[in-house]
Structure 1
């Protein structure tokens, strides 16, 4: 088996999802299946349990996973030792929201490219709520994400920014609807909610604490979709201030003076602790710390 097959196995061993791994590794489903079957044939043991609903590692798969992860790390170290000793080579995969790519990453990437021009950067953007899942599934080695309420033991985090959660309403129209006491009438005010993520957790908790049963108009994926729905007059919602400031839709909504008191987001860089054994990730992490330290001093 070759190192690419090892990398493919490692991704699947974390994602436990053939479709996700085939997309991340740019393989057809049949090619992914053949790669895993070749490894299993060489080892003489099945590595995955498969059925129509889930994928899991066999005992042999758990054992092989430990050795395969170590082999991939050793391969990265070997490439570095064989290369130019003064120049770092390799690649790094990053995942973040479009907002983070615009507002947070430029200074970090600029400094990293200047210090390590031999490293190839692969950047993916998407829903910020998926950032930690992308990290755990090995779709990305570093993500920019909001600090979860409980950080997994396997993840390390560097705080880069804080942003409050704002209650927004359409720029035009009569939303939110008010009751006779000057409070929002949540039974008559349609609400747009994120499908998942920290903002959803916090607004759900706020509604529960206030014993409010909101009129949910729609659940959407991502802050831009939420802003679009609110801007169209479909309802009210909650978004991070940083997202609103950078959005092209900001002129179509307004910040309501009557707003839930929600804990602000702490935005930062995340990676798995074991990734720091990789010289490229270690160098990127050092750059994040340096740039963040300079920003704090400024």
Structure 2
């Protein structure tokens, strides 16, 4: 087996979906299927249970996750120790972030890093920011852009790259929701009567749950959504009120179809996350150094 096959296996083990895993790995679903079958043949046991509707890990597959993660981590560590400092920096670096972060933070970071270290291969994966930390913990990404949690998991390194206000948004279109909002000021808003679009998990879910608890309301949740960008779209269509980072709104194609509710808000800290031991890898260490020069200067 080779390291690419291990990466393919981990992508499928994480998504449990051939199409999504193949997109992440930049290969076709049939190619991914062939690679997984070849890996299973070499291992001598099935790693996944497949049917027409779902994919799941076998007991052997669950055990193989730990082997694949440890093997790839050891390989990356070995390569970093063999790096000749007198030669140009080489290697690979994978970074996971939301679509918004790829526009607002990562473009400038990758542009500077590419200029200084052109021989490093950069791989960008986008998805729900709620999964950022787990992507790093599971060795599915070397680095991730994440909202800083109240308590950072042990063994992780965090470096701030920016902040954003959290804002409540509602539609501008004429609908029952805007009629209800327009008839009240922020001070007497009937928060318990509003429908809400909330994230499925992550720091933002914790923040909105805290808001509901502070207001003493049992929210009417219209939808649980994966990804902040989709929350803006649903809010613009009048399905509910959403609580999102202002930076997401500024990058959204629907920003002119929503209004911000006049309510005092809090801020979130956004930064790069990696495993502390991975900072020994010069490829990752230099990314953090470049980031510090851009965002903390």
Q: State TM-score, norm by structure 2.
A: 0.79
Is residue 12–residue 21 contact of structure 2 (8 Å, CA) maintained in 1?
no
Structure 2 counterpart SS, 1:174: helix
The match for 1:127 is 128
CA-CA distance at 1:67 after TM superposition: 6.0
Whether 2:73 is the aligned partner of 1:69: answer: yes
| 1:250 positional shift | 1.1
State the partner residue of 1:271. Answer: 274
Q: How do residues 54-93 of structure 1 correspond to structure 2 at under 5 angstroms?
A: 54=57, 66=70, 69-78=73-82, 80-81=83-84, 85-93=86-94
**CA distance in structure 1 between the aligned counterparts of 2:110 and 2:171, rounded to whole angstroms:** 35
1:142 and 2:143 aligned:
yes
Residue 2 of structure 1, CA deviation: 4.3
Q: Which moved more, 1:12-21 or 1:199-208?
A: 12-21
C-alpha separation between the residues in 2 aligned to 1:127 and 1:6?
23
**Gap regions ≥5 residues in structure 2:** none
Question: Is the 8 Å Cα contact of residues 175 and 236 (structure 1) preserved in structure 2?
Answer: no
Q: Deviations over 1:138-170 (max 9, x none)?
A: 332111111012211121110111111101111
Q: Helix, strand or coil: the match of 1:270? A: strand
Structure 2 match to 1:161: 162
Question: C-alpha separation between the residues in 2 aligned to 1:174 and 1:6?
Answer: 54
Structure 2 partner of 1:103 = 104
CA pair 153-37 structure 1, distance change in 2 beyond 3 A: farther
Query: What is aligned with 2:195?
Result: 190
* Residue 174 (1) aligns with residue 179 (2): yes
Equivalent pair of 1:203/1:262 in contact (CA under 8 Å)? no
Residue segments in structure 1 that go unaligned for 5+ positions in a row: none
Measure, in 1, the Cα distance between the counterparts of 2:199 and 2:128: 10
In the alignment, the residues of structure 2 paired with residue 220 and residue 242 of structure 1 have an alpha-carbon distance, to the nearest angstrom, of 18
CA-to-partner distance for each residue in 1:158-188, whole Å, 9 max, x for gaps? 0111111101111233143767995222343
Task: Evaluate the alpha carbon distance shift between residue 238 and residue 113 of structure 1 in structure 2; reply closer, same or farther with a 3 A threshold.
Answer: same
Structure 2 contact 145–270 (Cα < 8 Å) conserved: yes
- In 2, Cα distance between the equivalents of 1:181 and 1:91? 50
Report the equivalent of 2:250. Answer: 245
CA RMSD of aligned residues (A): 3.4
Match of 2:294 in 1: 291
Partners of 2:13 and 2:65 within 8 A in 1: no
Report the Cα distance in structure 2 between the residues aligned to 1:201 and 1:158, rounded to whole angstroms.
Answer: 21
Which stretch of structure 1 is more off in the superposition, 114-123 or 272-281? 272-281
- For 1:3 and 1:164, locate their aligned partners in 2 and report how far apart those are by CA, in whole Å: 41
Cα distance in 2 for partners of 1:104, 1:139 equals: 20
